[in-house]
Amino acid sequence: MPTTPGREAAGPAPAAPGDGPFLSVTDLRVRFTTEDGPVRAVDGLSFTLERGRTLGIVGESGSGKSVTSLAILGLHDPRTTTVSGRIRLGGREVTGARERDLERLRGNTMSMIFQDPLTALSPYHTIGRQIAEPYRKHTGASKRAARERAVEMLAKVGIPRPRLRAGDYPHQFSGGMRQRAMIAMALVCDPGLLIADEPTTALDVTVQAQILDLLGELQQESGTAIVLITHDLGVVAGAADNILVMYAGRAVERGSAAEVLGAPRHPYTWGLLRSTPDLDSDPDEPLRPIPGTPPSLLAPPPGCPFHPRCAFPPRVAGGPGRCSAERPELPEGRGAACHLTADQQRAGWSAEAGRAGATGSASVPVPADGGADLLRKEGDR
């Protein structure tokens, strides 16, 4: 990436292959103190991410996606929030770090694109000034050098006439341009980690594609590790290398994008996929939403948190009571936190894909009976 005179190194150099994960989250737990009791927003979450790779975190609203990102950045209020577990970034311990140490990392080694740029950007300062501010803070550059860097970044993210537009205020930018300005601000110091929290939610599909392409291009140039948080499976399908599915504050499935989207193993992931429109399906066929609502995190259900909304507990070896009494663990590597056997999981998705008319998107062939016979046999063992 081109440099501006007076610029200093802003973060760790890109990790070489085999150097291990740049971001490591182990047994992360986040609790909010409320008048009604503690809210278990994140409960035992673990994952890793390497430089130059993108991790997509998906799930319904309230699943703990944004809470996780704020914990990584150290932005939770310690007066009302308890954060435990371990977060390591580039070999440094983030959990429990002092505020002044976190300030050196935010915007420098790690950065974030927030959901709504109109509320994230200050209406009182120009776009150029807001991009230049973190650059000056972390590099000690002069005002002139910082402004040149801001203009350079606006040009890099595709803002026309960047020198002129750097003097504009947020309300003078369109929604897509504001999001591009947020990306420029997040990347101005070449962070090793970029967290993009629903970066395309308020944008039309054409601008969404442009923003995702831009993130991919910038990642290719700088080797940035990206955490892409979204509820839109279409977004992660084209942008993520790996996917982590969250439900009720826990990870319920993980794997490569091809594995999770092509051969999902958890009934919750099946529900997310079958409720997504498919170009190959019958346009008159109604979408099939997941029944029920996410559980209250004040009092999450015992056992598998998804079992009150799941149709498969009767198929589980040991009977339906096992799902409500025993919490399944997410195995290392590719896997799902579900009591169904591996064969049942494969057959279950075949059945779901067959009923939804989405066999073209599933990598598992659909048996003649939709997998129901195998589900019955496995459940009776």
**Structural domain contains residue 124:** yes
Q: Rounded to two decimals, what is the model's pTM?
A: 0.84
- Assign residue 117 the CATH number of its domain: 3.40.50.300
Q: Report yes or no: 199 and 175 within 8 Å, Cβ to Cβ.
A: no
Write down the pLDDT at residue 5. 37
> What tens digit of pLDDT does each residue of 232-265 get?
888 898 899 999 999 999 999 999 999 999 999 9
**Structural domain contains residue 248:** no
The pLDDT of 344-360, averaged and rounded, is 68
**Structural domain contains residue 5:** no
Pair 355, 287 in one domain: yes
Pair 280, 374 in one domain: yes
> What tens digit of pLDDT does each residue of 117-169 get?
888 899 999 999 999 999 999 999 999 999 999 999 999 888 999 999 999 99
Q: Report yes or no: 170 and 118 within 8 Å, Cβ to Cβ.
A: yes
Of 240, 272, 302, which residue sits at a domain end? 240
Residue 316: what residue type?
A: V
Pair 338, 373 in one domain: yes
* C-alpha–C-alpha distance, residues 166 and 150, integer Å: 7
Pair 87, 203 in one domain: yes
Pair 110, 52 in one domain: yes
Q: Which domain holds residue 371?
A: 263-379
Write down the pLDDT at residue 14. 42
Query: 45 forms bridges with which residues in the sheet?
Result: 28
* C-alpha–C-alpha distance, residues 154 and 157, integer Å: 5
Pair 209, 293 in one domain: no
> What tens digit of pLDDT does each residue of 59-112 get?
998 999 999 999 999 999 999 999 999 999 998 999 888 999 999 999 899 999
**Which segments of the chain does DSSP mark as H helices, in order?**
65-73, 99-105, 117-120, 127-139, 143-156, 162-165, 175-187, 205-222, 233-239, 257-262, 267-274, 321-325, 342-356, 372-379
**Structural domain contains residue 120:** yes
**Structural domain contains residue 83:** yes
Take residue 198 and report the two structure tokens written for it. 């629903």
Mean pLDDT score of the chain: 85
Q: Residue 78: which residues within 8 A CB-CB, separation 6 or more?
A: none
Domain total in the chain: 2
**Structural domain contains residue 117:** yes
**Structural domain contains residue 245:** no
Pair 267, 351 in one domain: yes
**Structural domain contains residue 17:** no
